[in-house]
Amino acid sequence: MNDLERFKCIVRGEQPDHVPIFGFPGAPGMSRGAMRKTRQRLFETGMPTYAGGTAKATDVASWMRYWGTTGPTGPGFKLESGEEGIRSTSRLEGEFQIIEYESGALTRQVLDNDETYSMPEFIRYHVRDRESWEFYRERHTPRRRMAPDGMEARCRKHDGRDYPLSVGGTSGYGAVRGLMGPEAASIAFYDDPELVHDIVAWRRERVREYRLPLIERLKPEIVQCGEDCCYNHGMLVSPRMFEAFFGDSYREVCDCARANGAELVAVDTDGNISEFTPMIESFGVNAIFPCEVKAGNDLFELGAKHPEFVFFGWLEKESVNEGNEAMIEPEIMGKVPRLLERGRYFPNGDHGLQPLVTFPNLCRFMTLLHEACGNADGDFPRVKGKSRRSKVEGRKSKVRTERSKDDGRRADMRTVCTVSSADL
């Protein structure tokens, strides 16, 4: 099987030749490299430099070869261009970088923030009222669209592909929160709903003009959306409010995705997804990633309640950090075999690697995960463990036995049905 065939098998609840270690950009788990300081830590603890691991396409490819992982491919271009953008200036204050934008936004972050496992402090956001929104909208509205022949030439390279292709979809709460901040956005839903509706309408028009045509032409396997709308106890906005402001946008994207053969409409959100899942599934979404552990998610329970839904991740990223090696086997063996029996699950870490990771621990984690998935891909050094392998094989044997029983029962049912039909 190739990557595309395996991907389709998992999404459809079928059995591939092996289960891929699949991760999305933005929440890659162990599949797509690491930030610079984290990668440097892996080099210092034994990982060869040729394993790559930066955000560059060539380094991502070398990381995937080395660790035996995979992920979606994007179109490699966008239809819109010509946004004026918002200029900024920055200055240093001690160990921090202060960034001021002409929109009035103000950010404080550690030095080299883009290469550090740290969130910036957003002191002021771009949108604070109607005036600041209109300024932002003017500066971020595209002025040009790629000509049809240019689009066709770029799309053609994805025809006849043997890999899953992903096209961006929509963002609702995540987009509003990113512009206003969670507190101001929460207030605006009640005090200035017209402003929120204007932001949603502007983004929806951009999706219609620049995303849906790509979905219609490329017919991707994946339409990828982003929200980050949950925290450790549930959603940051009520399901009722999410439905009122963003439901129609999601339905439009999901309808287009399904009409053009997409296997998966996936949403990236952190936090506890227990109340988010049924709501987003009602719009037509059928996948969520990365399913964080510390947020209290339970994929056994969610998987039982939503049998057609596809889940990713849910393996504690901190298990590969220094001193945590005892966590690795229980984390993988307590979750992965059972979820693979259910199907529609892509096992992976529940977010990106942290700076405390060590190469030996990552090797332990990936050895066991690959064994549990029946996956021989990758050049990394496997960590030997006879007792561990026997547990994995025991679980696989149990799964095979159960499948054989199921196949036998289905064969018996077919025989009964055939006889009954003949007798009628």
Of 181, 285, 289, residue with least CA distance to 243: 285
Of 29, 44, 53, 181, residue with least CA distance to 119: 181
User: How much is the average pLDDT of 225-233?
Assistant: 95
User: How much is the average pLDDT of 41-58?
Assistant: 89
User: Please, what sign has the CA dihedral across residues 27, 29, 30, 36?
Assistant: positive
In the beta sheet, which residues pair with residue 89? 100
Q: b/e map of 187-203 (b: 16 or more CB within 10 Å)?
A: ebbeebeebbeebbeeb
Q: What is the pLDDT of residue 166?
A: 98
Q: Tens digits of per-residue pLDDT, 202-219?
A: 999 999 999 999 999 999
Q: What is the pLDDT of residue 403?
A: 42
Confidence of residue 118 (pLDDT cuts 50, 70, 90): confident
Question: What one-character-per-residue DSSP string does 395-421 give?
Answer: HHHHHHHHHHHHHHHHHHHHHHHHHHH
| Cα–Cα distance for residue pair 140/169, rounded to 1 Å | 18
| Cβ atoms of residues 350 and 291 within 8 Å | yes
Q: Tens digits of per-residue pLDDT, 332-359?
A: 999 999 999 999 999 999 999 999 999 9
β-pair type (222-226, 166-168)? parallel
Q: What is the pLDDT of residue 385?
A: 75
Distance of CA 50 to the CA centre of its chain: 26
Q: What is the pLDDT of residue 267?
A: 98
Which of 92-101, 111-120, 132-141, 151-160 is the least confident region? Answer: 111-120
Tell me if residue 324 falls in helix, strand or coil.
coil
β-pair type (230-231, 234-235)? antiparallel
Q: Tens digits of per-residue pLDDT, 303-320?
A: 999 999 999 999 999 999
Q: What is the pLDDT of residue 54?
A: 78
State the chain's mean pLDDT as an integer. Answer: 91
Looking at the predicted structure, is the pLDDT value of residue 414 above 70? no
Run of H or E residues at 134: helix 130-140
Looking at the predicted structure, is the pLDDT value of residue 26 above 50? yes
Distance of CA 73 to the CA centre of its chain: 13
Region of 70 (left: φ > 0; alpha: ψ -120 to 50; beta: rest) is beta
The pTM score is 0.90
Confidence of residue 390 (pLDDT cuts 50, 70, 90): very low
Q: What is the pLDDT of residue 306?
A: 98
Q: How many CB atoms lie within 10 A of CB 217?
A: 19
Q: What is the pLDDT of residue 366?
A: 98
Q: CA-based Rg of the chain, rounded to a whole angstrom?
A: 23
User: How much is the average pLDDT of 68-81?
Assistant: 97
User: How much is the average pLDDT of 374-394?
Assistant: 75
User: How much is the average pLDDT of 64-69?
Assistant: 98
Which of 100-109, 171-180, 397-406 is the least confident region? Answer: 397-406
User: How much is the average pLDDT of 146-162?
Assistant: 98
Q: Tens digits of per-residue pLDDT, 174-192?
A: 999 999 999 999 999 999 9
Question: What one-character-per-residue DSSP string does 339-376 give?
Answer: HHHH-SEEEEESSPPPTTB-HHHHHHHHHHHHHHTT--
Confidence of residue 401 (pLDDT cuts 50, 70, 90): very low
Confidence of residue 413 (pLDDT cuts 50, 70, 90): very low
The two structure tokens encoding residue 418: 């055939």
> How distant, in Å, are the alpha carbons of 63, 333, 385 from that of 330?
26, 5, 14
Confidence of residue 393 (pLDDT cuts 50, 70, 90): low
The two structure tokens encoding residue 152: 């066709």
Tell which wins on pLDDT, 396 or 9: 9
Q: Could you tell me the fold of the domain covering 3-75+158-170+211-383?
A: TIM Barrel (3.20.20)
Q: What is the pLDDT of residue 388?
A: 52
| Cα–Cα distance for residue pair 67/39, rounded to 1 Å | 14
Q: Tens digits of per-residue pLDDT, 82-107?
A: 999 999 999 999 999 999 999 999 99
Looking at the predicted structure, is the pLDDT value of residue 376 above 80? yes
Tell me if residue 283 falls in helix, strand or coil.
helix
The two structure tokens encoding residue 379: 């050049």
